Chain A
Amino acid sequence: MTTLKEQAIIQEEFAKRMDEDELLNCMRCGFCLPSCPTYVESGFKEAHSPRGRIALMKAVADGLIEPDEDVERSLDLCLGCRACEPVCPSGVKYGHLLEEARDIINQNKKYSLPVRAVRNFVFNGLFPHQNRMRAAAGLLGFYQRSGLQSAARKTGMLNWLPKNLSAMEKVLPQVPKLKEMKNRPSYLSADKPVKIAAFFTGCLMDTMFLETNNATIKLLQLAGCEIHIPQNQACCGALHGHSGEKQTAKDLAKRNIEAFEKLDTDYIITNAGGCGAFLIDYGHLLKDDREWHERAVKFSEKLKDISQILYELEFHKKVHLELPGQIVTYQDSCHLRNVMKTSIAPRTLLNSIRGIEFREMKDADRCCGSAGIYNIVESEMSMQILDHKMIQAKSANAAVIVASNPGCLLQMKLGIEREGLQHKIKAVHIADILLEAACEK
């Protein structure tokens, strides 16, 4: 809880830092309401809708109300899925407002010692350092292989997991060996290269989901790309940006811009919707930084999701894709869909796989409740959303749920586990199923 003194400072900062034009741009028509998962799931509470949250931000900035715990609760419960943005006729950049508001609150409130320690460890000690991410994942792998739980818990990662710990733990993928994680080449050629791509590996993707990264690289090669993988790239900073740690996010952005701009590639490719949406917004993140803004914009212009680049390079027409008969469905990554505007490409690619039936599930464009670390810190709402998602997945009768983001993928696996359907349904990343389809003869 924030003290009155902290509230006063937060209020001052709101007045100073919140973008008044953007707040006024919301004309309160309410067109966003039906798109908001927390508005619907909370039983239509305006405080848990985008329009309500913007009104609260504005009221705090205007000095109408204090940023008390109810205001914080409203902002905390937001998934940040940004489904409200594409449906907003006025074009309010809700995501930017939310990020700024969260940053102001988090930078000006004193968390309790244990929370502070965990936040500091995760945001500053762990994610910005790929070697430590590997080490942490390595420990997790050791834990998985040897069964030594305590070793993994000491990394702090598992201490984060609340009551759904056991289910979550079960769905974590088999972590590769440390040696494999470190063995990443920095350049790969293609048979007949048509384009040059740089690959943004992602901190989580390159540890826990190493296999998916390998599949992504292979697909890029098959599509005719030669690939650069800069070794000095860093975490995208999304986790920090969404959790009110903007400064670290900016530092990470600069490291990435530096790492990629030297390579004169046609594209920068990511296979995680959550990372992509943050990377594509680097221009906004560094908008006030004269030295970096233009460089950030150039960086973001080259950014594409793996499904988008494969679609544009007509991978699905050049490579024969086939799998045994089964029903496959697709769960949108909110950030891939709402921010990167990529929703047709993954569907077209999946539809091109012969042998399978691609079947759309209802509300596939609705958040699954993963939302970064939301499923851990707001697990009650997250599980409520997930349960509704699983109802749709089941009625689509799919054997495979395809995801485009590691968070969504884990959440889908968790949903399957919770429903006890692990023998009937599996969840896979789109890169993995595409590569499987390309290899299947």
Chain B
Amino acid sequence: MVDVQIKEKLTAIVGAENYDDSKAGRLVYSYDATPNFQSMPDAVISPRNAQEISQILKICSSRGIPIVPRGSGTNLCAGTCPTEGGIVLLFKHMNKVIEIDEENLTVTVQPGVITLDMINQVEARGLFYPPDPSSMKISTIGGNINENSGGLRGLKYGVTRDYVMGLEAVLANGEIIRTGGKLAKDVAGYDFTRLLVGSEGTLAIITEATLKLIPLPEAKKTMLALFQDLEQAAKSVSKIIADKIIPATLEFLDQPTLKAVEDFAQIGLPTDVKAVLLIEQDGPVDVVEMDMQKMAEICQKQGAVSVQLAKSEQEAEALRTARRAALSALARLKPTTILEDATVPRSEIANMVKAINEISQKYGLSICTFGHAGDGNLHPTCPADARDKNEMERVEKAFEEIFIKAIELGGTITGEHGVGVMKAPYLELKLGQAGINAMKAVKTGLDPNNILNPGKIFAKDNRKRVVVTQ
């Protein structure tokens, strides 16, 4: 696919040191954080600016070479796995914070900047960028935008989409476009900014982003509510929202997750209870104080055995860090860790938790559940072994049932991880054929040669698979 001629052309654009087609060099970009997906790219390229990307795309377009933009490869839907070969495009040279604009409350960044690095820089100026995916210490902003990442603060502050104000992107034909801007209002044409956010690299290559910032909240408090009954915890979530409190964080962890996380973090998490809620509120001191008290009371009324306030910011940070490690910590239990992020309206959380438990029993699986209960986004996770074919088939069936249940409850197949390859066969469940057709029309319009991250979002056939490879 990438012959000598193409290689010469690409090398001329980026320099020999930024083009790698060695076996080892390609292998380490053949995967992301999604289990059971691996595919070798033909080459790996690290351009230094949008102009170089434009030139690369022109070549790829003319020769039909797939191109897969990749941040740090932490996504969970095989979105950056080069399943159809081609070229993996890295942003390691495009990793600068270009500008923090304190008058317009925006930050302009290159896609390769690490999320947490940017957050630290803006917080040093008393500003706040709320989206905080669990991988933010490693993930890049470009990756976050392409996957429309969520995080622990989604309930109150929304997700990546809600903070992207403008983009610079290179289209498949090599043309460079700019969308939106430092504008609170802008209705000039289609909202391409929103279209590109969460497009998983299938519509354009994002080369710069202007993000919205808000003032850093004055105070923040963190607590843990402990339950001996899963449904009590889930009901507390709905009650808190119904009581018109919107906490900054409302995370749910069940007992098996707690045990795995404590095994790693060793911070004295309660492992003798069936579930905990990690609750945070931020804002003006007195509001935080009052909300925390109200939420503690609600939890106790629902049957919480204990409600503990974090004594220091250090303790609170340890709790958040532990929660963020939940998925990877579950990988301790068994070799293959299959995770989903079915999402329902928050009022249905208790029903969803109940359904997950019934489904896991039906298929003889142990499904651990944690997630952003406050925004209805759960992460049922199944520790399994890819070498056990029978087990993997049961996992497949169980997750299909979970998806169907989520849709039934008015939810979706994925809240924040993306469709990628992994959930492509289920997309129709959510969109219907007409919805898929409309999306395909957009894709074909912008990328007629299907070079931008091909094989993602849209399934090749309707064979359902999350994990079982034939």
A: which residues have CB within 8 A of B?
21, 24-31, 33-34, 43-44, 46-47, 49, 52, 55-56, 59, 64-66, 68, 70-71, 73-74, 88-91
Contact = CB atoms under 8 A, between A and B. Distances in A.
A65 B92 contact: no
Contacts, number: 93
A64 B331 CA distance: 23
Interface stretch (B123-131, B288-296, B332-340): B332-340
B328 A55 contact: no
B314 to A, nearest CB: 14
A73 B137 CA distance: 27
Given A65-B24, A68-B23, A89-B329, A30 B263 contact: no
A273 B337 CA distance: 35
Report which residue of B34, B114, B328 has the largest number of chain A beta carbons within 10 angstroms of its beta carbon. Answer: B328
A31 B23 CA distance: 24
B325 interface: yes
A30 B24 CA distance: 18
A24 B336 contact: yes
Contact of B328 (A27, A34, A70): A27
Interface size class of B (residues with CB under 8 A): 35 or more
Contacts of A71: 24
Given A30-B73, A65-B23, 20 more contacts: A25-B332, A27-B33, A28-B32, A29-B135, A30-B138, A33-B138, A43-B92, A47-B28, A56-B27, A65-B24, A70-B23, A71-B24, A73-B24, A88-B264, A89-B264, A89-B325, A89-B326, A89-B329, A89-B332, A90-B332
A46 B29 contact: yes
B146 interface: no
Contacts of A26: 331
Contacts of B114: 34
Which are the 8 A-B pairs with shortest beta-carbon distances?
Answer: A89-B328, A70-B24, A24-B335, A90-B331, A27-B331, A89-B325, A52-B28, A46-B28
Report which residue of A31, A68, A74 has the largest number of chain B beta carbons within 10 angstroms of its beta carbon. Answer: A31
A91 B335 CA distance: 12
Contacts of A91: 263-264, 332
Given A44-B92, A89-B331, A91-B263, A31 B138 contact: yes
Nearest to A23: B335
A90 B328 CA distance: 5
B28 A29 contact: no
Report which residue of A43, A70, A89 has the largest number of chain B beta carbons within 10 angstroms of its beta carbon. Answer: A89
B138 A34 contact: yes
A70 B31 contact: no
Contact of B24 (A44, A49, A68): A68
Nearest to A29: B328
A90 B263 CA distance: 9
A47 B33 CA distance: 16
A33 B115 CA distance: 14
Contact of B74 (A29, A65, A70): A29
A46 B73 contact: yes
B151 to A, nearest CB: 15
Nearest to B335: A24
Given A46-B29, A47-B25, A88-B328, A25 B74 contact: no
B325 A31 contact: yes
Nearest to B116: A34
30 contacts: A24-B336, A25-B335, A27-B33, A28-B32, A28-B34, A29-B327, A29-B331, A30-B33, A30-B73, A30-B138, A31-B137, A31-B325, A33-B72, A34-B137, A34-B138, A43-B92, A46-B29, A47-B25, A49-B28, A52-B28, A55-B28, A55-B31, A65-B23, A65-B24, A68-B23, A88-B328, A89-B326, A89-B331, A90-B329, A91-B332
Contact of B27 (A27, A43, A64): A64
A66 B263 CA distance: 36
B469 interface: no
Nearest to A88: B328
A14 to B, nearest CB: 14
A28 B27 CA distance: 13
A70 B335 contact: no
Contacts of A44: 92
Report which residue of B27, B137, B261 has the largest number of chain A beta carbons within 10 angstroms of its beta carbon. Answer: B27
A30 B135 contact: yes
Contacts of A73: 24
Contacts of B73: 28, 30, 46
A414 B386 CA distance: 49
Contacts of A47: 24-25, 28
Interface in B27-45: 27-35
B470 interface: no
Contacts of B263: 91
Nearest to A31: B328
B32 A56 contact: no
A21 B263 CA distance: 18
A167 B22 CA distance: 37
A47 B31 CA distance: 12
B23 A27 contact: no
A18 B318 CA distance: 34
A30 B35 contact: no
Contacts of B22: 70
Interface string B240-263: 000000000000000000000101
Contacts of A43: 92
B138 A70 contact: no
A66 B72 contact: no
Interface string B123-153: 0000000000001011000000000000000
A59 B337 CA distance: 19
A267 to B, nearest CB: 23
B371 to A, nearest CB: 16
A239 to B, nearest CB: 27
A46 B44 CA distance: 11
Contacts of A24: 335-336, 386
Report which residue of B92, B325, B331 has the largest number of chain A beta carbons within 10 angstroms of its beta carbon. Answer: B331
A3 B264 CA distance: 42
A334 to B, nearest CB: 19
Given A25-B335, A89-B328, A30 B72 contact: yes
Report which residue of B24, B33, B336 has the largest number of chain A beta carbons within 10 angstroms of its beta carbon. Answer: B24
Given A44-B92, A65-B23, A88-B328, A27 B264 contact: no
Nearest to B260: A89
Nearest to B328: A89
A347 B386 CA distance: 45
Nearest to B327: A29
Contacts of A70: 22-25
